[in-house]
Amino acid sequence: MFQQEAVSIDPQYLSALEELYRTKRVALLDDLREALRTESRTTIFRVLSAAGYLTSYSHAGRYYTLKRIPKFDSHGIWLLRGIGFSRHGTLRATVIHLVETSPAGQTHSELQDLLQLRVHDTLRLLIQDHALSRKQFQDAYLYLSSKPRRASAQWAQRQQLAAAAVPEQLEPSRIIDVLVDVVRHPSDDASAVSARLRGLGHAVTAEQVEAVFTHYDLKKTARSRSRHLKR
C-alpha cells in the first residue's frame, strides 16, 4: 500500500529517488509514484525539487530526470531515446535561446534537427507573442531575434552563408545545369527549377538553386534574369 503524503521530506524519499535514478536516467510520474510509494503529486515534486530535477521539453513534459544526469551538447540539449531535455528549461525557452544565439537565425528544419522535434506550433505562438521575428528565406521562414538590430545582423549573415555555400554544395556541372534551366525558364522560381532538374536525375534542392541565384546576383524578375545570363 502507498502511504499518504508526508508533512516534510523524509530522507528515505531521497534515498528511494536516488535508487530509482541509478537504474533509470529518465522516469515517468508512475515510476516516481512506485519508487517513492506515494500517490501524492505534491510529495513527489517536493522530493524532486529537493534533489534538483528537469522536465523533458518533448513528450508533453512527461519525463523527469535529475539535474546531475544530463550530458548536454553545445546547444544545451540532451537526448535519450528520443526524449529531449534542455539546459534552458521549457521548449519555448529553448527555441528562443537557439534562435537568439544563432549568428544566422534558424529555420524550422534546423531547429527540428537540433531538438528532434517538430516545433511549428511553438514558433507560431512565439511569433504571435512577438518573442521572435521571421522573414521568408528561399522556400521557408527564417526565424530571427525579436530585437531589430540583432535580427538584421542575422539576416545579413544568412545571406552571406547562402552565397558562400554554392561552390561547396554544388559541382560546377550542377551550377551550369541551374543556369541553363533559368535561361530556358526565366520566370520560374527556385522550387520549379529544382523540381525540373530532379526530374532529369540531378540531385539539386530548392535551397541550392536559390543559393545559385544569390551567388550570381540573379534577380527575381524574368527580364533581369535573362538579361544577366545573356551577357
pLDDT value, residue 8:
64
Q: Considering only the top CATH level, what class is 91-161? A: mainly alpha
C-alpha cell at 120: 511549428
Q: Give alpha helix (H) positions in the chain.
A: 11-23, 29-36, 41-51, 91-101, 108-115, 120-128, 148-169, 172-184, 190-199, 206-215, 222-230
pTM of full prediction above 0.85: no
Q: What is the pLDDT of residues 20-61, one digit of tens each?
A: 999 999 999 999 999 999 999 999 999 999 999 999 999 999
Please report, rounded to a whole number, the percentage of residues in the chain having pLDDT higher than 90. 57
Asked if 16 and 37 touch (Cβ cutoff 8 Å), the reply is yes
Query: At the topology level of CATH, where does 11-69 sit?
Result: Arc Repressor Mutant, subunit A (1.10.10)
Tell me, yes or no, if the two domains 11-69 and 91-161 fold the same way.
Answer: yes
Asked if 96 and 57 touch (Cβ cutoff 8 Å), the reply is no
Element (H, E) at 77: strand 77-80
Regarding beta strands 83-86 and 64-66, do their DSSP bridges make them parallel or antiparallel, or are they unpaired? unpaired
Taken in order 102, 105, 110, 111, the sign of the CA dihedral is positive
Where in the chain are the domains? 11-69, 91-161, 170-230
Lowest mean pLDDT among 158-162, 168-172, 209-213: 168-172
pLDDT value, residue 97:
96
